[in-house]
Each structure stands twice: as structure tokens, then as C-alpha cells.
Chain A
Amino acid sequence: MTRKPRGRDERSPLSSLALHATLVVATTIALFPVVWVLLASLKPQDAIQSTEIHLFDHPTLENYRRVLFETSFPHWFLNSVVVAIFTMVIGISMSATAGYALSRFNFPGKRGVMWLFLITQMFPVAILIVPIYTIMANLGLIDTKASLVIAYCSVAVPFCTWMLRGYFDTIPPELDDAAALDGLGPFKTFWYVVLPLARPGLAVTAFYTFLTAWGEVAYAIAFILSDKNLTLGAGLQQFVPRFNPQWDLLTAGAVLIMLPASLVFYFAQKHLVAGLTAGGTKG
């Protein structure tokens, strides 16, 4: 009996099994917490803390109703949306323009700027909170959404600038030359030629900046004092004080937090297409 020769792209059954087993384990590890929170959010309060574990136990939407109508959750949600969207818009505008400048122009201090952006990434939030808090206090911005937007931008902009600069570097500079001859100044070149081609890079940075602001807890707890100005990350903490945590509210809130993030990701991934610059140049 002769075995059918394997094609170059075919795996042996054993390696196929090992591969799929690994993937299944990894997927389970990734999904388990999310699924568990989702299932818990549908259980009544006593069932969540019960020592007997059931996947479903009197499924109900009661937790969601209470979170939405009996707590400040909607308020926090709105605050988070405002903060995240402002962080996203301001962060992207700043990092895209800075990234373009770093990619295309030579100016004194260019290397210094890039190093600075890299180095600021190396400080952990715990160290930065105190000095930034002092700055915000001096600016009179404590307990405002603006303080959070500024703090989040300081985290997101350097990283996004590096990332977008890398993306702009892949767009052939001849296109800038062609645009210059077609009558565009530097800013219009950026707007009409470079940005449309950088859509995948912009989508990723948009998602990143959004996430930076959306689930953030440390800055939010430090800068925001009043309940009405809290964002989601900070607000949800109130559901789990040291004693008597309200897991029912927390899990329902956690599920609701995931929705906008998924929505933003859904729109962002549509733009994650390869080969946008294909065909423009050859060589």
C-alpha cells in the first residue's frame, strides 16, 4: 500500500491535531472570562454568589434594568463616550499631523522629538499620575472631562505618532511630488492624497486611542471627584466596595461597557484592508 504523497501545503494529521488543540485551548482561555461575565450578568444576585455553579440559573435581565435605571451608570456611560471620542479625535489629529511631519520633512530636532516620544512611553502610569495631577490642579482642571482627555492624549499621541509615521513611510513619496506638481500645498497633499491612503493606519490608531480612554481607571479615579463626572471604569468600581460587592450590577455594567468598544472595532476593522496603495507606483 502506498500512501498518497502530501502536497506542500498539507499538514500531517499529528501536527494538525496539535495545532488545533493549541488553538482550542488558547481560544477557551481568551473567551472564558468574557463568557463567564456574560452568563453571570443574566443570573439573579444570589445565584452569582452561590457555591453551586450553573451555566444558567433563572436567567433574567433584572440586573441590566437596575444598572440602567437605578444607578448613575447611564451618566458615567455618557461621560466615557464624550471623553473617549474627544481623545480619539484630538489624538488622531495630533498624531497624524505629527507623524506626517516626521515622515516627510526634515527639521532641526526631528530625532530629538522622536526620542522624546519614545521615552515618554517608558514611564508607568503610577509614576505619571502625581505630576500630571499637579499640572491639572494648577490648570484648574481637576474634576473635569478635559483633564482626562489631555491625560489620555499624553499616553496615546506619542505611540500613535510613531505608528502613523511608520505607516506614512510606506506611502511612496513620489505621490507627494506628484501632488505638489498638481497644485497641492503640503497640507492639501496630506489631506487629499496621504490621509485617504493611510486609512488602515488611521483605523488602528483610532481604535487604540478610543480604547485608551474607554476603559481607563487610574487617571479617572485620581482626577474625577464628583459622581456625576465619573467615567465608566472609575464608576464601576463603586459597585465592588471592599465589603458587600454587587456582582450583579458589576457584571451587567461590564457587558454594557463592551458594546461600544466592539462597535468601534467593527467600524475600524472595515478599513483594515491591505494594498490600498497598490497600483500607484511601480518599481
Chain B
Amino acid sequence: MSTPVVFDAATRLYPGSTVPAVDRLDLEVQPGEFLALVGPSGCGKSTSLRMLAGLEDVSSGSIRIGDRDVTHLRPKDRDIAMVFQNYALYPHLTVGENMGFALKIAGVAKSEISTRVADAARILDLERFLDRKPKALSGGQRQRVAMGRAIVREPQVFLMDEPLSNLDAKLRVSTRTEIASLQRRLGITTVYVTHDQVEAMTMGDRVAVLKDGVLQQVAAPLDLYDRPANVFVAGFIGSPAMNLGTFAVEDGDALVAEARIRLPRATTDALTTGEVVLGFRPESLERVPAGTEGAFAVEVLVVEELGSEAFLYGSLGAKLHNPQLVAKVEPRSVPAKGSVVHFRVDPERLHAFSTTTGEALPTA
């Protein structure tokens, strides 16, 4: 009974603008899938969601929900429910009325409405609040009412626009799991927009990364992490971010500060210029004694000790895209600030990108 959603070259060009906010978006959401749409602010992720909701016109291309072309249907004819970033509860209605409002408008019988509202309230632990107005609720409770309003509809697709961004950090983490498990239980196709890549990675069955209105990559969270399609995805996914730098290539070796890093044959063959963008995640750095082959020296600036892990921020003898190099180190034996340590990149986990296109280069 779950429904697929398809964006087919969907484009949104705002009047008076020459750059599309969403540029030929091709995206298929599988039935029952939880798809997280992630990207920096202004990347067009919310616009994409609002196009699917019918709140934003589609300039060209089409959008299908199931086998229906909804491109030019009004929101109410699309059979979707949306959770807004600021919840958008009706302040003059009680929690129960808020949740049952869509059904009431649709002319559903009163007894049926109250059963469905009661069911949703039980799932979301809102039973005690049904007669209250939204202003008498806490932020977390309002968020649940907004979820409830969507659930009661039993729609074909859930749309969520950063529903957790107004919650405090702790509540956000617990609500994150609640929403994900609820979605899995209901099995309703969900498109979830967030700017927080941790949220996207932890909740999504698949994650779609957008930048400047263009889809960069869609993949399962780990695929995205292990095989980013380009420099942007590589830098965006993962926290702390991947270390990225542009280095000269000489005789098949990349010159990283004083070290020479051997590039795989496939990578050098694909190079079109004498330079390469290399990426290595903080955990792909291995601390080695000075003088080890391929090792470079790093001066320690800061060490973040989080208990279970520790991250070292240091300066390298070469320029990186970010000002500092980040390395994951043993949390119980961190080097002192100001000291110089040596690292080597795990060759298996080295990412290479073209300096001209930013696309990933083959490493094997």
C-alpha cells in the first residue's frame, strides 16, 4: 500500500530569477522508504519538498506520487501530510481539533475522527493534552502534535521540513529515533528535509544531498560516507568533516607537505592536470613514528576530548581547504598542545577528486 514518489527533471525557477532554485531534480523515492534530503541552507531542499507538497509551482518537469501525476494538482488533492519546521499548529483549536481538522474538512464522520485522533494520540503519548490549546504545550509536545496531525490523515506520503530544528539538543536526539521508528512501523513513504547531516545519516534509508538546487548524490548513508561522488558530498557528510586539500602530483605521487603519497594507478590515469584533490577522514589517519614512509608532521593546536573519542586539530605544512587538519586519536593518550606528531593516511581509505570537475576519481 506504500506509494513511490518520483521527481522527473522537476525545476523551480522563481519569477525574476535566472538561476533555478531547484534544477532538473531527478529523484525516485521507493515505496515505504525514508528519504532524507540534506544540504546547506539555500540549496533548494525545502523548495523541493514544497514542490512535492504543492505549495510551490513546478516550472518544468513533473512530479508523480504513485501512478498519479501531481505536478499541477492542488495540495489538498495530493493525499500528503506535512510537518512544518515551526509546527504551524492552529492556535485557536485544541490539540484534538488540530489533529482532526483535515478529516473534519474532508467530511469524515465525527465518531471516525475521534477514533483516529485517539489512536494517534495514544501512539504519540498525547492523550492527556487533547483538550489543551497549543500554547499550553512545551516545544516537544507541539512537535508531537504536528506529527499527530500528519499521522491522523493516513496519507500516502509524509513530508517533514526540519521538524526537529526547534527542539533542544537532547530532545532532538530522542525524537529523532522516535520519528524513525514510527515511520518504519507505519511504512508510509517519507521525505525528510534537514540541514543536519547527522540527522540525515541516522534517520534516512537513503540520503539525497543537494547543493545550489542540483542533486549531488543519492545513496544509503554508509555508501555516501564511504564513496562520496564529489568533493562537496565528501566535505558535507561526516562530522568532523573530511580533510580535503589540493596537492601537486609528481611521478604518480601526491606531494602532501613533506610526504609523498603514492596514488593508485587508476587515479593517476584519470588525472587531467598535474594536481589532485585528496580527501581523508579523521579516522583514516594513523599515528606513526617520525620518518615512516608517507608520514607528514602535524603541529597540535587543539585536542577535543569527548571521552569515547578524541579529535586532534593541527596545522600541516601544506594548505588544506579547511584551515586545520582533523585527526581522530586515541582518547586516553592524546598528544600535548604544541607538540608535533606524525600521521600517515590509510591508503585503502584515501579519496581522490578531480581538481577541475570535483568528481571522484577511481582509486582502484
Q: Give residues of chain B (56-94) contacting chain A, Cβ–Cβ below 8 Å.
A: 74-76, 80-82, 84-92
Residues of B within 8 A of A192 (CB): 105
Do A183 and B106 touch (CB < 8 A)? yes
Residue of B whose beta carbon sits closest to that of A175: B88
In the bound assembly, the distance between CA atoms of A197 and B88 in angstroms comes to 13
Interface members, chain B 139-195 (any A CB < 8 Å): 139, 142, 149, 165-166
Asked if B118 is at the interface (CB within 8 A of a chain A CB), the reply is: no
Instruction: Kindly report which residue of chain A lies nearest to residue B53, judged by CB atoms.
Output: A181
Could you tell me the distance between the alpha carbons of A185 and B105 in the complex, rounded to whole angstroms?
11
Q: Are B142 and A279 in contact (CB under 8 A)?
A: yes
A175 to B55, CA, bound (A): 12
For residue B85, which residue of chain A has the nearest CB?
A: A283
A188 interface contact, C-beta 8 A: yes
Interchain CB contact under 8 A, B76 and A177? no
Once A177-B88, A282-B139, A283-B166 are accepted as A-B contacts, the answer to whether A182 and B101 lie under 8 Å apart by CB is: yes
CA of A69 to CA of B85, assembled, Å: 65
In the complex, what residues of B have CB within 8 A of residue A184's CB? 76, 105
Q: Pick out which of these stretches binds chain A: B130-138, B241-249, B304-312, B350-358.
A: B130-138
- Asked if residues A281 and B88 are in contact (CB atoms below 8 Å), the reply is yes
Q: Does B54 contact A (CB under 8 A)?
A: yes
When A172-B86, A177-B55, A183-B76 are in contact, do A279 and B91 touch as well, CB less than 8 Å?
yes
Q: Which residues of chain B are near A196, meaning CB under 8 Å?
A: 92
Is B105 a contact of A280 with CB atoms below 8 Å?
Answer: no
The segment from A32-40, A48-56, A92-100, A270-278 that touches chain B is A270-278
Q: Are A181 and B82 in contact (CB under 8 A)?
A: yes
Chain A 164-178: CB-based contact to B (< 8 A → 1; otherwise 0) = 000000001011011
- How many residues of A sit at the interface, in one of the four size bands? 20 to 34
- Asked if A276 and B101 make an inter-chain contact with CB atoms under 8 angstroms apart, the answer reads no
Partner of A197, one of B53, B54, B92, B136: B92
A141 within 8 A of B: no
Residue from A188, A192, A197, A280 whose CB has the most chain B CB atoms within 10 Å: A280
B76 touches A279 (CB 8 A): no
Residues on A with C-beta less than 8 A from B165 are 283
Which residues of chain A are within 8 angstroms of B75 by Cβ–Cβ distance? 177, 180-181
Category for how many chain B residues contact A: 20 to 34
Q: How far is the CA of A275 from the CA of B149 in the complex (A)?
A: 23
* A193 interface residue (CB < 8 Å to B): yes
User: Are B55 and A279 neighbours in the complex by a CB distance under 8 Å?
Assistant: no
Partner of B105 from A174, A188, A277 at Cβ < 8 Å = A188
Are B84 and A177 within 8 A (Cβ)?
yes
Contact call A280/B166, Cβ cutoff below 8 A? no
B102 in the interface (beta carbon within 8 A): yes
Q: Tell me, rounded to whole Å, the shortest Cβ–Cβ distance linking A167 to chain B.
A: 14
Chain A residues with CB under 8 A of B90? 175, 178-179, 193, 280
Residues of B within 8 A of A185 (CB): 74, 76
A279 with B102, Cβ < 8 A, contacts A181-B53, A183-B76 known: no
A183 and B136 contact, CB distance less than 8 A: no
Chain B: minimal CB distance from A174 (Å): 4
> In chain B between 109 and 140, which residues have their CB closer than 8 angstroms to a CB of chain A?
133-137, 139
B182 CB to nearest chain A CB (Å): 19
- Taking CB atoms, residues of chain A closer than 8 Å to B89 are 178, 279-281
Q: Complex Cα distance A183/B73, Å?
A: 12
Q: Which of B74, B82, B91, B149 contacts A278 (CB 8 A)?
A: B91
Q: Report chain A residues within 8 Å CB of B166.
A: 282-283
Inter-chain contact A279/B137, CB cutoff 8 Å: yes
Most buried by B among A180, A182, A184: A182
Chain A residues contacting B134 (CB-CB under 8 Å) are 279-280
Per the bound structure, the CA–CA distance linking A106 and B106 in Å amounts to 28
Contact of A281 among B74, B76, B87, B149 (CB under 8 A): B87
A175 and B53 alpha carbons, distance in the complex (Å): 14
Of the residues A174, A183, A188, A276, contact of B88 by C-beta under 8 Å? A174
Q: Say how far A5's CB is from chain B's closest CB, in angstroms.
A: 37
**Chain B residue at minimum C-beta to C-beta distance from A196:** B92
- Whether B142 lies near A282 (C-beta < 8 A) is yes
Give which listed residue, B80, B84, B139, B142, contacts A178 with CB less than 8 A: B84
Complex-state Cα separation, A185 to B54, whole angstroms: 12
Minimal beta-carbon separation of B159 from chain A (angstroms): 8
Complex A-B: 13 CB contacts under 8 Å:
A177-B50, A177-B84, A178-B82, A178-B88, A181-B75, A181-B102, A182-B105, A182-B149, A184-B105, A197-B92, A276-B91, A279-B133, A280-B135
**Interfacial residues, chain B to chain A (CB-CB below 8 A):** 50, 53-55, 74-76, 80-82, 84-92, 101-102, 105-106, 133-137, 139, 142, 149, 165-166
